[in-house]
Structure 1
Amino acid sequence: MKTILVPIDHTAGAEHTLAYANKLAVRWPAEVVLLYCHPELDGAPAKAAALAEQELRLRSLVERLRYQQLTRQDGRRIQYRYRVLSGCLHDHAAAEAARCAADLVVMGLEHIDCGQQAAPGNHAATITGLVICPVLVVPPGRRSLPSRLVFTADFTTLNGSTLPRLSALEGAFPGPLELVQFYSPAERPRRRPLKQAVGRAAAQLTWPTIITHLLEDDAPLEGISEFCARHQAQLLIIAPASEAQLLRYFDSCYTTTRAYHTQIPVLVLRAVERQAQVACCDRCAERLEKEQKRAVLPDYHAVHWG
């Protein structure tokens, strides 16, 4: 069974986050692991009492939502686990995601961490940098599961681990998938390789219906928001190349003006970096050095010169 990790706070938006995760858990299907991190308290008795109280609040919330917004049969099918910890979410997120082998993290756009309110999306961006699995950022409000999906990225530089990780979520997000590659006016001579990169990405994904778009726009973030609005997208999938690029999606100028992409769930795919090989002895170090040189230098002997 799949596992959805849901970091949760006790704000009003938390109910919308959990309701969305519940619907995903029924569709996929998946187990839901609820993670609540309570600010540090002095004294072991006070800490134990506070954590026990928070777990009761979580269980009460779960029992209320599972039958309010789901049919009784679907509500009974979902399995829940509870993790109530002392401290900040960003200190526990990586360990808890690994502990439950999470396939997906679902969290609110306006999540509160360490008892502090940050700019919308900033806590989610931090968690995205800590966990390996994809992170789904859900804005406040009731919404149905998506049937129109848009995936934007620079497909020419996309990490090789990203597309298989997205394909693993096809069962949770069925429906037509639109791939969007933007290019600036200065990149017009590169239209052909850009189109080929989008085509290669489409061939590696498992969605039955994939539509590709190659669009000219010197402001890709504004462009994708407008594209999503025109096509009434219900889920935006992004694969940012850096944390700074990710934070731009949740910039205050977009959240304040209620840009379209901040009003729909955003699925963030983090590239899994390859671990560097470590030599155990001088002989292995020499072998690794030769392999790296072969990877950098062209193999002229393998070329058919005609």
Structure 2
Amino acid sequence: METILCPVDFSDAGVNAVRYANELAQRMKAQIVLYYNLYEPSVLETTLDAGASSVPLRDEQVERSVQGKLESLKKVFEDEEQGEAVPFQIKLSHGVTREAIPETARQLWADLIVMGHEEAEGLEEIVQHSLAAHVIKEAACPVLIIPVKAAFQPVRKIVFATDLTGEPFGDVSFVSRIAGLFGAEIMFLHILTKDSPEKREQAQSALEAIRERLAYHNASLHVVEEAQVEEGISRFCRDHHANMLVLGFHPRSFWQHLLPGNYTQEMACHTYLPMLLVHFRR
């Protein structure tokens, strides 16, 4: 059985992410692990903090409280089940949260991590500066980021934005798996910041090669001119009523690969979409 790891903090964003994961799990025949990490300083942090040694690193009362909240959340979703019941597990750990999440995912052999995020976070914040950014970087499996107000909808159109510098074929089969669950169209998208017949032909050929390697029956290719890459992705997702945005994570300088220069759009349309980050083969 496949495993979806859902790190939660009991916020609206976190609970909404679990709700989305639950819909996916029903279709994937997967189990969900509700996970909470109790922050525990690293050895270095403890060494640097002169007063740390006098403070207990673990509070049993807090741990019992969190355990109770996880059990309550698990019951809420079990009671809400209307279709095929999804098995729910709970897990609690101690450590530095940004390190604990990817490590726990590896221990559980998780197939997917689903995390929530607040609307105020733009795309750059998500993939470069946030807790989610560190998890994306260190995780051994795809990471799905769910905006706080993104209600689940059957996935009909998936936009896979690529810069054509090399595709993440270690995880890309997961994209076709998700698409296949819903009979969705995968729309491969490349943004040209400066268009020319030669560049367009090269991009079209590269996208065609990706489609052939993917071997998914319902995939289309799109080359769009837009001065700012993020704006181009945003407009394309909006115009085509996309249900999910997929980005390939580059181990080195991800943001520079996707968005050259210093352009930032704080509230891009696609930050309201579920965003799946997949990795290069490692």
Indicate the residue corresponding to 1:213 in structure 2: 222
Question: Residues 4 and 103 of structure 1 are in contact (CA less than 8 Å); yes or no, is this contact kept in structure 2?
Answer: yes
Indicate the residue corresponding to 1:51 in structure 2: 63
Aligned AA (2:56):
G
Q: Does 1:225 align with 2:234?
A: yes
Q: Does 1:62 align with 2:70?
A: no
Superposed, 1:23-62 pairs within 5 Å as 23-40=23-40, 42-43=55-56, 47-62=59-74
What is the number of residues matched between the two proteins?
Answer: 258
Offset at 1:24?
0.8
Offset at 1:11?
1.3
Match of 2:104, SS? helix
- Could you give the per-residue CA deviations for residues 169-224 of structure 1, whole angstroms, max 9, x where no partner exists? 44455411111112232554232222111011112225331111111223121101
TM-score by length of 2: 0.81
Q: 2:207 aligns with which of 198, 205, 212?
A: 198
Match of 1:151, SS? strand
Match of 1:57, SS? helix
Question: Residues 144 and 274 of structure 2 are in contact (CA less than 8 Å); yes or no, is this contact kept in structure 1?
Answer: yes
Question: Residues 170 and 206 of structure 1 are in contact (CA less than 8 Å); yes or no, is this contact kept in structure 2?
Answer: no
**1:25/1:162 CA distance change after superposition, 3 Å:** closer
Match of 1:185, SS? coil
**1:65/1:165 CA distance change after superposition, 3 Å:** closer
Rg larger in structure: 1
Question: Residues 142 and 171 of structure 2 are in contact (CA less than 8 Å); yes or no, is this contact kept in structure 1?
Answer: no
Indicate the residue corresponding to 1:244 in structure 2: 255
**1:160/1:27 CA distance change after superposition, 3 Å:** closer
Percent of aligned pairs with the same residue?
Answer: 25
Q: What is the alpha-carbon distance in structure 1 between the residues aligned to residue 246 and residue 193 of structure 2?
A: 21
5+ long unaligned stretches in structure 2: 42-54, 120-124
- Could you give the per-residue CA deviations for residues 14-64 of structure 1, whole angstroms, max 9, x where no partner exists? 2111111111111112111121012339437x5233222212101101211
Aligned AA (1:80):
F
Offset at 1:246?
8.3
Superposed, 1:1-306 pairs within 5 Å as 1-40=1-40, 42-43=55-56, 47-68=59-80, 70-71=81-82, 73-74=83-84, 77-110=85-118, 122-145=130-153, 146-172=155-181, 174-185=183-194, 188-241=197-250, 242-245=253-256, 254-255=265-266, 258-273=267-282
Q: What is the alpha-carbon distance in structure 2 between the residues aligned to residue 227 and residue 109 of structure 1?
A: 22
**1:131/1:53 CA distance change after superposition, 3 Å:** same
Question: Residues 34 and 74 of structure 2 are in contact (CA less than 8 Å); yes or no, is this contact kept in structure 1?
Answer: no
Q: Which has the higher contact order (CA 8 A, sep 6+)?
A: 2
Q: What is the alpha-carbon distance in structure 1 between the residues aligned to residue 257 and residue 270 of structure 2?
A: 13
> Cα RMSD over matched residues?
2.7
Aligned AA (2:135):
I
**1:244/1:6 CA distance change after superposition, 3 Å:** same
Aligned AA (2:21):
A
Aligned AA (2:86):
I
5+ long unaligned stretches in structure 1: 112-118, 274-306
Q: What is the alpha-carbon distance in structure 1 between the residues aligned to residue 29 and residue 180 of structure 2?
A: 9
Match of 2:74, SS? helix
Indicate the residue corresponding to 1:304 in structure 2: none
**1:154/1:120 CA distance change after superposition, 3 Å:** closer
- Could you give the per-residue CA deviations for residues 205-245 of structure 1, whole angstroms, max 9, x where no partner exists? 25331111111223121101001111111100111433334
